[in-house]
Amino acid sequence: MLRASAPGLERKVPDMDKPTDRGGPPADDADGLSAGPVENAEPRRGIARLLRATLARGRLLCAAIARIRLPYAVRRMLGMIPTLAFISIIIFVVIQLPPGDIVTSTLDRLQASGVEVSEEQVQNLRAQYNLDKHPALQYLHWIGGFVVGDMGYSYMFARPVNELIWERLGYTLLITISAMLFTWAVAVPLGIYSAVRQYSITDYTLTAIALVGLATPPFLLALVFLYVGFEVFGIPIGGLFSPEYREAPWSMERLGDLLTHLWIPMVVVGLGSTAVTMRILRANLLDELKKPYVVTARAKGVRPARLVLKYPFRIAINPFISTLGLQLPALVSGEAIVSIVLNLPTTGKMLLDALLAQDMYLAGSVVMLLAILILLGLLLSDLMLAWIDPRIRYE
Amino acid sequence: MTAPVLAIRDLAVEFKTDTGVTPALSGVSFDVPRGQVTAIVGESGSGKSVTANCVMRLVQPPGRITGGSIRFAPDAGDAFDVVKLADRDPRLYDLRGGHISMVFQEPMTALSPVHDIGGQVAEAILCHRDIGKEAARAEAAQMLERVGLDDMERRMGMYPFEFSGGMRQRVVIAMALVCHPEVLICDEPTTALDVTIQAEILTLIRSLQHELGNSVIFITHDLGVVAQIADHVVVMYQGRVLEIGTVRQVLKQPLHPYTRGLLQAIPGVVPPGERLATIASVVGDADIETPHPLVALADGRQVSLPPAQLRRVARS
Amino acid sequence: MSDATAAPPPARGEALLATVTPRQLAWRRFKRHRLALVSAVVLGVLYLLALFCELVAPYSPQTRNVAAINAPPMGIRFFHTDGFHLRPFVYGYDMRVNPDTWMREYTPNVGKRYPLRFFASGDEHTLWNLLPSTRHLFVAEGGYIHLFGTDQLGRDVFSRILYGARVSLSIGVAGVVLTFVLGILFGGVAGYLGGITDRAVQWFIAVLLALPTLPLWMALSAALPVSWSPLAVYFGVTVILSLLGWPYLARQVRGRFLALRQEDFVIAGRLLGAGRMRVILRHMLPNFMSHTITAATLAVPFMILGETALSFLGIGLRPPVVSWGVLMQQAQNWQVIVMTPWLLLPGLFVIIAVTAFNLLGDGLRDAADPYNTGGLE
């Protein structure tokens, strides 16, 4: 999928010169430099070509040894492994930070209710939860299990974390992704409109709304929705299902019920990033619209609507996609707090409870899974960038 | 002699800034003869590029055309005033890239970085003719070969950042000529290039002009280039036209003190080691700031001078 | 060539071109941003209010008015039954319990007219823990005044918002100062040393930026011992907010540093024989500070919103400390909001403060950019 670029061409060969063939490996800067003199040996082209091919093969071998040349996507994914390992350490340390552990907090509870616990029982409990081991071993135990899909045991719920987490994570994912789609669907057209009609009344209005949207904490917006929902529509808003469907098995009706509830968290979570995205897109587009290549296109006779969509938009969308990746943490954070306010069956509330109860495996696994979610999102946005912008593919 | 392809009369452009309204052009009038090269010469800010942009109706806010006319007479069909065209008039889009096209100063930025070369050149055809994408690409490839690129089946799919400056400028020229326009506007097309490449591009433009027989407006501040390429010269200063004539007339016998100043400021005119003349030293106390009307002289030249000097020039 | 010998500029522009320093230009660009100017004023007022909250607030944050529990906001009036009064006043409430809902309902009673007294005495307080006094900017003579209503304990929401402003607004600045130190340290070191250090820091920054901010904040806040004093918790929260906030700033600092090192004028300075410190102080720093200050201004909202979110969840600042987040914790479910919507008013102040910081940051950024001519108005 990687096409060979020959930077040597750009610097060494005069334009009229016959361009080199594509025999060389995907060239680094160093390749281009070393290939230069050979390329210029105009009279003995045949020999030069042979020489260069040999050189190229040698270089290819070196490159392969030094750094295995893989498609961009694979390289990006391999690069995620150390990141994930590092993140898992950070998360483990943070989760371990509170003084005491699940056993002490359980003991406190038991003693408060007057139950006597012997020292031996305590030791047993600790051994059962691996708490008597060195923290490094505890970490290895946790992450080792995590890698093979066993996220450990939740003391708080007295159930394996796996059983607790998947459905909630699914809803988290659903809300985050729909919030992201909402962001796209709203921010892109409004951002374009705002830029093309710069300084119009609509532009000012949208900018004002975006500013307020930017400054409103998601939980406050959720509270306002609760208030409006009750005052205007007379219904308590919240949850992802009506009571009659909450425990019901999946059916078309339950799905429909979910969809009628979904839009509120979607809007609440997505509004902030919609505002950011709209402003970024507007600013980028305004920058691009001033660039000479837009004038070139205008001079070619390209019509206005096509002009904006085909040229500046294609380029303005780049930083947009990369910030979209960076907005994922914000969306996930927003979802966490909104789900607590709106009482949604997602990971947010569970995380808060687990943290307060020092339920380490549960809390750690939730944060870890959210981090993985974000990293996958970043990966996707990077791949999308590479797909849309040829300059990145060639790096 | 046939009618000029472009007749510009009393063109005025203003730019709105914080400090008020700044006139960029005032009373600019000249003709672009059919099938010849007209050079517009002047220093930075003299209004050369603004004039060119007016012809294509590319002046953007805060700039605005406030008066005058640009009469365009196509080879076939009726003449019309470009200034009076509505923003959505289809004739405007036919004009841009179809009848009149433009080569820009900066080949580095004049091409879209995320579209391939072939697509960008072919788009110029697709904007003006009702043919298929493949046919357009084939024609684009032909035009690119004509401006000196080869290995087209590979090059067509390449992106601007893979090309050198000179090659990019060739692409821009191909893009401008691919619809066989009647007028090609070159806005300092060689300023951003190496000296050797400059010569190649100039030769290319001149030879293509001979082949295709189109008219060229060539904007430059380099009188050396003017001598090489132009048939007619328009000298501009501060948004006004100071002098118009054939290249021979203007370069051999400049009438306006400012033109003389420009000529003496060329390196190589004075012996090595001596300081170059500045415009101010040549112009001396002659007033070039106050606008005067362009007056036509007997030999087809026009000049803008105070009445006293005008009489002296007319006598000689 | 003609460019080298450009004629003198027209006389009109000459005076203008000759006398403007970069600082004046920046100020001029900033002044053109009317919204940024307004924001600066708004923030100034907010910070003054926070600074003198003991004086401005009519009550202390813990004073309870049992006669007005969950009372709605009061309006300041000038017209009584007998006509206009120069001295503003409020009407006291009549309370009755709705027999259907068992909720308190308040109606203003024209008979209870409480005129406002300015700089009169009221609750005792100690300004900045230094000056004991009983003076307040305004008090209601013979009664009570609750401009923004009261909460379920009968505490004055207006007073509590002012006290909360002191905590929330200062934690924003304190957090940014710490972020600034960390950001400049890491960003500067990475940009200065380059090579492996740079790559390591960059990677570290990328990792931190990809972390789910709020969940980690939550985890860190949950680690703050319950036994800590309010002051310790305050600093703890500040540190926590900065821990995940510095990567943004560090990335910008590093980027600026690298870009500046390549700038021709810096290289020129070096080639002219300027010492390293001179290059850094005279050439790089002025270019650098404006951008960094802008970035810092834009980072304050991040801190304020973070504090608010954590305190709202009950794992940041805790009562009896009063912050905007703590105040909104009272309004966590829809029943409370429907009954006493004025408890959401702290949120309005969050929005105002954050918007003002964002606008101010925008204005500073445009003013700091020497290439921004801003001619397109």
Q: How confident is the model at residue B268 (pLDDT cuts 50, 70, 90)?
A: low
Which of C38, C199, C207, C345 to substitute to test the interface with A, most A CBs within 10 Å?
C207
**Quick one: how far is CA A2 from the chain centroid?**
25
* A8-17, A41-50, A60-69, B222-231: the lowest-pLDDT one: A8-17
Burial A73-89 (b: 16+ CB within 10 A, else e): eeeeeeebeebbeebbe
Please give the structure tokens belonging to residue A165. 């987490």
Domain that holds residue A268: 61-97+164-388
Residues in Cβ contact with C164 at an 8 Å cutoff, skipping those fewer than 6 apart: C61, C322, C323, C324, C326, C327, C346, C349
C-beta atoms of A299 and B155 within 8 A: no
| Residue tagged 């000296």 (tokens) | B195
* Confidence (pLDDT) at A391: 63
| Distance of alpha carbon C205 from alpha carbon B68, whole angstroms | 59
Asked whether residue C340 carries a pLDDT value surpassing 70, the answer given is yes
Interface partners of A (3+ CB pairs, < 8 Å)? Answer: B, C
| Distance of alpha carbon A269 from alpha carbon A333, whole angstroms | 9
- Chain B touched by C231 (CB under 8 Å): no
- Chain C touched by A387 (CB under 8 Å): no
The burial of A179, by beta-carbon neighbours within 10 Å (0-12 exposed, 13-18 middle, 19 or more buried), is given as: buried
Percent of chain A with pLDDT over 90: 0
- pLDDT (mean) for A156-185: 84
Q: Are A27 and A7 in contact (CB under 8 A)?
A: yes
In a domain, A366, yes or no: yes
Q: Are C191 and C257 in contact (CB under 8 A)?
A: yes
- pLDDT (mean) for C50-56: 84
* Confidence (pLDDT) at A207: 85
Amino acid at residue number A286: L
- Chain A touched by B99 (CB under 8 Å): no
Closest approach of A331 to chain B, Cα-based (Å): 30
Length of chain C in residues, anyone?
A: 377
Q: How confident is the model at residue A345 (pLDDT cuts 50, 70, 90)?
A: confident
- At A188-214, the pLDDT tens digits run 888 888 888 877 888 888 888 888 888
Q: How confident is the model at residue C122 (pLDDT cuts 50, 70, 90)?
A: confident
Closest approach of C349 to chain A, Cα-based (Å): 10
Q: How confident is the model at residue B228 (pLDDT cuts 50, 70, 90)?
A: confident
- At A129-146, the pLDDT tens digits run 666 677 788 888 888 888
Query: Which among C211, C338, C358 has the least Cβ separation from residue A214?
Result: C358
Q: Nearest-CA residue of chain A relative to B120?
A: A297
Interface partners of C (3+ CB pairs, < 8 Å)? Answer: A, B
What angle do the packed helices A252-289 and A201-215 form, to 10 degrees? 120
* Confidence (pLDDT) at A36: 37
C-beta atoms of C212 and A332 within 8 A: yes
Asked whether residue A236 carries a pLDDT value surpassing 70, the answer given is no
C-beta atoms of B267 and C32 within 8 A: no
| Distance of alpha carbon B161 from alpha carbon B108, whole angstroms | 8
Q: In chain C, where does DSSP find H-type helix?
A: 11-18, 22-32, 34-51, 53-56, 157-193, 195-209, 213-222, 230-262, 264-271, 276-278, 285-313, 324-329, 334-339, 345-368
> What DSSP designation does B288 have?
-
- pLDDT (mean) for C152-175: 87
Asked whether residue A39 carries a pLDDT value surpassing 70, the answer given is no
Q: What is the CATH number of the domain that holds A284?
A: 1.10.3720.10
Q: Are B96 and A299 in contact (CB under 8 A)?
A: yes
User: Which residues 73-132 of C are in CB contact (within 8 Å) with B?
Assistant: none
Query: Which among C1, C374, C376 has the least Cβ separation from residue B265?
Result: C1
| Distance of alpha carbon C133 from alpha carbon C54, whole angstroms | 9
* Confidence (pLDDT) at A393: 56
CA distances from C269 to A20, C261, C364 (A): 42, 11, 27
**Quick one: how far is CA A254 from the chain centroid?**
29
How many residue pairs from chains B and C have C-beta atoms closer than 8 A? 45
Number of domains in chain B: 1
* B36-40, B83-87, B307-311, C58-62: the lowest-pLDDT one: B307-311
Q: How confident is the model at residue C45 (pLDDT cuts 50, 70, 90)?
A: very high
Q: Nearest-CA residue of chain B relative to A22?
A: B154
Q: Nearest CA to B117 among B83, B76, B151?
A: B151
Query: Which among C4, C6, C376 has the least Cβ separation from residue B62?
Result: C376
Q: In C33-156, where does DSSP find H-type helix?
A: 34-51, 53-56
Q: Nearest CA to B40 among B276, B300, B243, B303?
A: B243
* C7-21, C91-105, C139-153, C194-208: the lowest-pLDDT one: C7-21
Class of domain C38-51+164-368 (CATH, top level): mainly alpha
- 3-class SS at B16? strand
Provide the 10 A C-beta neighbour count for residue B18: 12
Please give the structure tokens belonging to residue A69. 């040349």
| Distance of alpha carbon C195 from alpha carbon C192, whole angstroms | 9
* A135-144, A254-263, C5-14: the lowest-pLDDT one: C5-14
| Distance of alpha carbon C323 from alpha carbon C307, whole angstroms | 9
In a domain, A265, yes or no: yes
Instruction: Kindly tell me the sign of the dihedral angle through the C-alpha atoms of B248, B254, B260, B264.
Output: positive
* A336-345, B247-256, C22-31: the lowest-pLDDT one: C22-31
C-beta atoms of A300 and B94 within 8 A: no
Number of domains in chain A: 1
Residues in chain C with CB shorter than 8 Å from the CB of A233 are none
Domain that holds residue B275: 6-99+181-315
Asked whether residue A108 carries a pLDDT value surpassing 60, the answer given is yes
| Distance of alpha carbon A45 from alpha carbon A53, whole angstroms | 12
Query: Which among A11, A292, A300 has the least Cβ separation from residue B106?
Result: A292
- Chain C touched by A248 (CB under 8 Å): no
Residues in chain C with CB shorter than 8 Å from the CB of B285 are none
C-beta atoms of A94 and C313 within 8 A: no
C-beta atoms of C206 and A83 within 8 A: yes
Burial B269-287 (b: 16+ CB within 10 A, else e): eeeeeeeebbbeebbeeee
User: Which residues 178-237 of A are in CB contact (within 8 Å) with C?
Assistant: 211-212, 214-217, 219-220, 223-224, 226-227, 229-231, 236-237
Which H or E run contains B226? helix B223-229
Q: Are strands C104-127 and C131-140 parallel, antiparallel or unpaired?
A: antiparallel
C-beta atoms of B162 and A9 within 8 A: yes
**Quick one: how far is CA A203 from the chain centroid?**
29
CA distances from C76 to B75, B153, C55, C113, C144 (A): 79, 80, 19, 11, 12
| Distance of alpha carbon B218 from alpha carbon B37, whole angstroms | 7
How far apart, in Å, do the first and last CA atoms of chain A sit? 13
- pLDDT (mean) for B93-98: 84
- At B168-196, the pLDDT tens digits run 888 888 888 888 888 999 888 887 778 88
Q: Nearest CA to C250 among C305, C178, C352, C301?
A: C178
* Confidence (pLDDT) at B195: 81
- Chain A touched by B61 (CB under 8 Å): no
- At C270-305, the pLDDT tens digits run 788 777 777 777 777 777 777 777 778 878 888 888
C-beta atoms of A226 and C350 within 8 A: no
* Confidence (pLDDT) at C7: 42
- pLDDT (mean) for A114-124: 73
Asked whether residue B57 carries a pLDDT value surpassing 80, the answer given is yes
Residues in chain A with CB shorter than 8 Å from the CB of B110 are 292-293, 295-296
The burial of C199, by beta-carbon neighbours within 10 Å (0-12 exposed, 13-18 middle, 19 or more buried), is given as: exposed
Residues in chain B with CB shorter than 8 Å from the CB of C17 are none
pTM, 2 dp: 0.72
Asked whether residue C16 carries a pLDDT value surpassing 50, the answer given is no
- pLDDT (mean) for B53-70: 85
- Could you please report the per-residue DSSP string of A201-224? HHHHHHHHHHHHHHHS-HHHHHHH
Asked whether residue A8 carries a pLDDT value surpassing 60, the answer given is no
Length of chain A in residues, anyone?
A: 395
Asked whether residue C373 carries a pLDDT value surpassing 60, the answer given is no
C-beta atoms of B221 and C3 within 8 A: yes
Residues in chain C with CB shorter than 8 Å from the CB of A93 are none
* Confidence (pLDDT) at A139: 83
C-beta atoms of C2 and B62 within 8 A: no
Which H or E run contains C112? strand C104-127
| Distance of alpha carbon C187 from alpha carbon A265, whole angstroms | 37
* Confidence (pLDDT) at A48: 66
- The neighbouring-strand residues paired with A159 are A154
| Distance of alpha carbon C134 from alpha carbon C128, whole angstroms | 13
* Confidence (pLDDT) at A5: 37
| Distance of alpha carbon A360 from alpha carbon A337, whole angstroms | 20
| Residue tagged 């803008």 (tokens) | B304
Amino acid at residue number B203: T
- Name the more confident of B21 and C23: B21
Q: Are C331 and A223 in contact (CB under 8 A)?
A: yes
* Confidence (pLDDT) at A394: 52
- At B152-164, the pLDDT tens digits run 778 888 888 888 8
- The neighbouring-strand residues paired with B215 are B183
* A325-334, B57-66, C317-326: the lowest-pLDDT one: A325-334
**Quick one: how far is CA C341 from the chain centroid?**
23
Q: Nearest-CA residue of chain B relative to A3?
A: B158
Q: Are C339 and C103 in contact (CB under 8 A)?
A: yes
C-beta atoms of C211 and A330 within 8 A: no
Percent of chain B with pLDDT over 70: 93
Asked whether residue A13 carries a pLDDT value surpassing 70, the answer given is no
Q: Nearest CA to A60 among A40, A42, A35, A38?
A: A35
- Name the more confident of C308 and A113: C308
- Chain B touched by C4 (CB under 8 Å): yes
* Confidence (pLDDT) at B270: 64
Share the mean pLDDT of chain C: 78
Share the mean pLDDT of chain A: 73
Asked whether residue C160 carries a pLDDT value surpassing 50, the answer given is yes
Q: Nearest CA to A226 among C328, C214, C97, C154?
A: C328
- Name the more confident of A322 and B131: B131
Asked whether residue A63 carries a pLDDT value surpassing 70, the answer given is no
Closest approach of C318 to chain A, Cα-based (Å): 14
Peptide bond into C61 cis (omega under 30): no
C-beta atoms of A301 and B93 within 8 A: yes
| Residue tagged 């209004």 (tokens) | B47
Which of A203, A211, A264, A332 to substitute to test the interface with C, most C CBs within 10 Å?
A211
Q: In angstroms, what is the C-alpha Rg of chain C?
A: 27
| Distance of alpha carbon B5 from alpha carbon B55, whole angstroms | 12
ipTM over 0.90: no
What is the domain partition of chain C in residue ranges? 38-51+164-368, 57-160
Provide the 10 A C-beta neighbour count for residue A228: 12
- At C248-266, the pLDDT tens digits run 778 777 777 777 777 777 7
- pLDDT (mean) for C100-122: 78
Asked whether residue C15 carries a pLDDT value surpassing 60, the answer given is no
